[in-house]
Chains A and B, each alone.
Chain A
Amino acid sequence: MQIIQPHYHAIARTAQDYERMAMSGVVAVCEPAFWAGFDRKYPETFIDYFRQIGEFEPTRAADYGIRHFFWVAVNPKEAENTELSREVLKKFPDFFKMPNCLGVGETGLHKSTANEAMLFEEQVSLAIEHDQLILIHTPHLEDKTHGTRRILEILAGLPVDRNRVWIDHAEEHTIRPILDAGYWSGFTLYPITKCSPKRAVDMLEMYGRERILVNSSADWGPSDPFTLQECVCEYRRRGNSLQDAMEIFYNNPVRFLGQNPKFDLPLLKVEEMREEAEAPVEQPAEEPADSA
């Protein structure tokens, strides 16, 4: 089947991951901008990072037949530095014009500080002003409940089109408020600190598949891009059809990301092909044995 990996930090992964993703049916990846593992010091560091994920990563992906799209954002950790962040935000409109840029992401909250909230609101507002899609990171572990609630509060005060907002890294205790508020939600299959493939399928069974995206968010930490394929297998193992799997792991990303016309992959439907049975070929009559 065909799979879209909607949240993937390719910059932190080797070419072998692209190769194996291609071998397992991944046809497109989308790369949000995130924390590099250290706090950047200059606006230019961010700009060069956006250039790397917007210009160079697509060429790496293309070597394996995979389409690559990207997002720009100042991630929640570095948003604490408001002066640096605002210098970076001034450059976003240039990147919005690129043919593979999908919008603002991943913005969001980390520790839900006042500075983080301010920069989150400014980035969402910038996305709205430029008609861009929005991808939001919810905090890790013990910070997730409060951070998700703060994110929903802040969004409620902004003129967002909720269908164009994806709130990622949802788990059992945050999925319901996200879906009830009308946003898209994402399950991130990340060893130890986020959701697992089995729990993701549980939530698909409980909440249905509308407005849900599943991803691996593989990056420089302990992570595995193939948790997405594990989830596909778990989903199929529970008796779901190939089309049902395509709806979640391919068509849902198309539905959300395709709201930006640059994401031009088509919706797909699995159809049974019936080949016409060939008409029997007439065999020539056998000569009698004594005719010679």
Chain B
Amino acid sequence: MLTPSKVLDLYFLEARCMLIEVAATLDRFDRAVDSDSGGDGGDNRIEALYESLQVLSSKSETPDRSEQLLKLFSGPA
């Protein structure tokens, strides 16, 4: 089992990179909305992305964020 600091040593930069990619995707979407007369068309997918960020932004009592996100992105059971 890795120590907390070893986890960050190994994975911090990768996580940083992925978060920046997510940010860029959201920016890209906003620019597309600005330049498209139809607006965001009420696409639920963007809402799902923002909901997932809320899951990530709060400290979880149990380490099950991946599971929470997968359920969030799943269709009806």
Contact = CB atoms under 8 A, between A and B. Distances in A.
B42 to A, nearest CB: 23
Contacts of A191: 17
Contacts of B2: none
Given A202-B28, A205-B31, A193 B21 contact: no
Contacts of A202: 24, 27-28
A145 to B, nearest CB: 14
B43 interface: no
B70 interface: no
A192 interface: yes
Interface residues of B, number: 11
Contacts of B33: none
B13 A199 contact: no
B interface majority secondary structure: helix
B65 to A, nearest CB: 21
A141 B14 CA distance: 12
B24 A198 contact: yes
Interface in B19-76: 20-21, 24-25, 27-28, 31
Contacts of B27: 202
Nearest to B15: A192
A199 B24 contact: yes
Contact of A198 (B13, B21, B31): B21
Interface of A: 141, 172, 191-193, 196, 198-199, 202, 205-206
Q: Which 5 A-B pairs have the closest CB atoms?
A: A192-B17, A199-B24, A192-B13, A202-B24, A202-B28
